[in-house]
Amino acid sequence: MLEVMFPGLPAAAFETPGGAPVAQRLADSCRRVQAARDADDFAALHTARRIEGELLLLSGEPHAALGAFLEAVALCEVSDLSGQARLWQLAARAQAALAAPAEAQEYLGLGLRLMEEARDLTGAIDLLEDLAALHARAGEHQRELEHLEANLTLRRELGDAAGLCRTLLAVGKSRLRQQPAQVQRAQRDLKAAIKAAQEIGSVSLLAQARGWLGHAHWLLQHLDEADSLFSQSYHDLERLGDLARMAQVRLGQGRVAASRADPPSALRLGGQALDLCRQSGNRSTEVQVLLLLSEQSQAGGDLAAALEYHRAYHELSVQLHRARSEHRAQQIAARIGLQGSRQEADFYRERGSLLERRVAERAAQLEATQMEMIELLASAAECRDAPQGLHNAWVGEASACVALHLGWNESQARDLGLAARLHDIGKLAVPDAVLLKQGPLIESEWTLMRTHTTLGARLLSCSTSPLLALAAEIAQSHHERWDGLGYPAGLRGSAIPQSGRIVAVVDTFDALISQRPYKAAWTLEEAAAYLHDKAGQHFDPLVVAAVVELHRLGELPPRDERALRAVPSVS
């Protein structure tokens, strides 16, 4: 589990296995990414973007990391299901760091299905652990427990003794969070964890399991058993020098003394726990210790000390709450430009049922996976640039309608509708500083922005899939102009693929009637008049006529964000 799943640790504290600081390795990674792009080496670019994403995640830049992981997914070999799954897992961690648990769960669910399809049990275990951690952080302990129990089954199948011990410990802890109904079952799991830890010789896991079993006995008011287990756990942790966990165990011993109505012992143990908390920086345990000390000082008749401890408890509680609020605010700020990501979940659910119904033949499995990837990548590309939500999906559906109106058959129109969703996939490779800039772009930034057409085409041309070939054609040509003044190739008239001509009109129409940070939404009349005015210059006149006619008839797909009014015919 990456450190970003547990906020509060500074990125500067992390160093890579080679000893180089993350910032240095990130700079090196950026150079490798650019070199791979320049060389059109897609395999190298895939690896470089994945590594860059991991380093960005460690550096506290989950938004940029998400873009890197999504591009790496697009570059991943279609047959490499485990590789795709691990990239979705990394993307889920970025979403978790962006306070987007629903999206993170959807990514992890997709990754888990891919791992299961690849029969990669080790990878499936990793994903189940992430899913359990995500639900634990949300307080959804029953869901956490379900994933941990599935993990136990796989651990036993693999014969992974150390992993089995860790998972048994996690299951026991999860059950204790659902007290009181689960306490006795937690005892069973924690006893099994103790036995497993003894068999593999892990002092750390043994100490942790004993400590949590002691906590279970304290909850049941089995005070002698609790005290004995806490003492054994503390002895082992002291050997390891694990001050943070020693503080937790001393707190447990203090609670046992309090349950025995022994304030002097509770205060002595609580004082030791407080010292250990402050030495280790374990502030979450320190809050609980201060509350215990306040209560036991009051029980012992020392009201002045009780008041002082309670003040300290209150001050630290406020500090921790403020820190959580600030972290949440940072996460929300980082999600600017990602508000459309909720729509991704709808795509995953739609395609999830397809994954579950795949036939046994490998070709059909790979095709279904590829289709889901196209949906996910389309919505992911949009969420960086168009936080309003349904742009790419609507462009795809509307393009299919226009194609049918122009005489394409249903199969061709359906393929166009799906491929059109990837028209802006190249924007995954455009830096956030340019893509999300609120003000006007300078010329050098426009030059960089225009590269999204060729970058998208190169990205999609890695595959031999006819559908992705169509998507590459659209990505390359949807900014060409009928009069030859477009980019990137300056194609003119019918030399522009009809797929690109259709998407150009539909994309522009939706952009005009959508609100953006830099402009208000146009009325439908204004948008239709603009298309009509630019027909024969920017746009294919036949496509413009088809779009306007379909809208006049109410046959274009509706938008969820607004009720589209009928557009009057434009002569």
Give the CATH number for residue 516: 1.10.3210.10
456-491 residue pLDDT tens: 888 887 666 788 889 999 999 999 999 999 999 999
Cα separation values, 540 from 140, 141, 169, 499, 501, Å: 54, 57, 65, 11, 6
Q: Please, which pLDDT band fits residue 9 given cuts at 50, 70 and 90? A: very low
| Residue 485 counted as domain residue | yes
| Residue 23 counted as domain residue | no
298-317 residue pLDDT tens: 999 999 998 999 989 888 88
| Residue 50 counted as domain residue | no
Domain containing 464 equals 390-552
pLDDT score, position 351: 44
pLDDT score, position 464: 63
Rounded CA-CA distance 137/505 in Å is: 45
| pLDDT, average across residues 33-42 | 88
What is the rounded average pLDDT for all residues in the chain? Answer: 83
For residues 389 and 72, which has the higher predicted lDDT (pLDDT)? Answer: 72
For residues 290 and 566, which has the higher predicted lDDT (pLDDT)? Answer: 290
For residues 174 and 9, which has the higher predicted lDDT (pLDDT)? Answer: 174
pLDDT score, position 468: 83
Q: Please, which pLDDT band fits residue 63 given cuts at 50, 70 and 90? A: confident
Does residue 540 contact residue 503 with C-beta atoms inside 8 Å?
Answer: no
Q: Half-sphere exposure (CA, 13 Å, Cβ side) for 309?
A: 22
- Cα dihedral 303/309/315/318 (nearest 10): -100
pLDDT score, position 325: 59
> Looking at the predicted structure, is the pLDDT value of residue 444 above 90?
no
pLDDT score, position 142: 87
Domains: count for the chain: 1
| Residue 291 counted as domain residue | no
Q: Please, which pLDDT band fits residue 350 given cuts at 50, 70 and 90? A: very low
| pLDDT, average across residues 423-445 | 80
| pLDDT, average across residues 290-294 | 93
Least confident of 12-26, 257-271, 381-395, 413-427: 12-26
DSSP state of 520: P
| pLDDT, average across residues 243-270 | 96
* Nearest alpha carbon to residue 240 among 217, 211, 213, 218: 211
Q: Please, which pLDDT band fits residue 375 given cuts at 50, 70 and 90? A: low
484-511 residue pLDDT tens: 999 999 999 989 999 999 999 999 999 8
Rounded CA-CA distance 99/105 in Å is: 12
| pLDDT, average across residues 63-67 | 87
| pLDDT, average across residues 184-203 | 94
CA 114-115-116 angle, 5° bins: 90
pLDDT score, position 462: 65
For residues 241 and 455, which has the higher predicted lDDT (pLDDT)? Answer: 241
The amino acid at residue 386 is: A
| Residue 403 counted as domain residue | yes
> Looking at the predicted structure, is the pLDDT value of residue 369 above 70?
no
Q: Which residues contact 390 (CB under 8 A, 6 or more apart)?
A: 340, 343, 559, 560, 561
Share of the chain above pLDDT 90, in %: 48
Rounded CA-CA distance 482/535 in Å is: 8
| pLDDT, average across residues 16-27 | 69
| Residue 539 counted as domain residue | yes
DSSP state string for 105-130: HHHHHHHHHHHHHHT-HHHHHHHHHH
Residue 159, Ramachandran bin (φ over 0: left; ψ between -120 and 50: alpha; else beta): left
pLDDT score, position 201: 95
> Looking at the predicted structure, is the pLDDT value of residue 556 above 90?
no
196-207 residue pLDDT tens: 999 999 999 999
pLDDT score, position 463: 63
| Residue 95 counted as domain residue | no
Least confident of 7-21, 247-261, 529-543: 7-21
Of how many residues is the chain composed? 571
DSSP state string for 307-366: HHHHHHHHHHHHHHHHHHHHHHHHHHHHTTT-TTHHHHHHHHHHHHHHHHT--SSHHHHH
Rounded CA-CA distance 38/36 in Å is: 5
Least confident of 80-84, 94-98, 561-565: 561-565
pLDDT score, position 7: 34
Helix (H) or strand (E) holding 447: helix 443-450
pLDDT score, position 380: 62
Helix (H) or strand (E) holding 38: helix 22-38
| Residue 73 counted as domain residue | no
